[in-house]
Amino acid sequence: MSWLSVFIMASLIGIGSNFDNCGVGIAYGSLKIKFPHWVNHIVNLVGLCMALLGAYGGAISSHYLSAQTASYISCVMLVLIGLYFWYAGYVRHQVSKREHKIRIKRPGWKEGIILGVALSFTNIASGFGATVSNALTVWIAAISIAIWGYLMIWLGNIVGIGILSRFLSKYSSFISGVLLIMVGIHQVVA
């Protein structure tokens, strides 16, 4: 696999895994709360650890599976994550029909750790999916997820403070789902 293909795949996995981070940035930004960079570092350090955990699990599993089987497992996992994002973003809200008002305060180190854990469950699955088919090395997958996680919170916060928050927050689950489904299908097709 060429370095360009690895870069594109790692970036797509990193972006797709972190649209929820963008939503967090938008949530704070829409309330005119600047998300501190040091808290963003904490969130994504936890995300890096979780992505490494998933990536190592995928790398170990790849020794016991054929390349084709691993590609299908990776595809299914990434597509399921993408479908879950669609469910969480659109279906769940229609089913509950209740609006939940959440008070958000300026985050500190405790909130950074909690957010890091909460936002990292997809990092485990994405890291696993990226490495189970030998598509990416453990460190490339995990670092891409962590870097894009940081950038997505920062970008979401900037956008949230600005005018585009309503548009991006409304479609972030859809975009994230599409990216992860595309990466999953690419695992089987490539």
- Whether 173 has a pLDDT exceeding 70, the answer reads no
Q: Are 137 and 131 in contact (CB under 8 A)?
A: yes
Q: What angle do CA 9, 14, 17 make, to 5 degrees?
A: 120
- 53-86 pLDDT tens trace: 877 877 777 677 766 776 677 678 768 877 877 7
- 114-131 pLDDT tens trace: 878 777 766 777 777 767
**The model's pTM:** 0.66
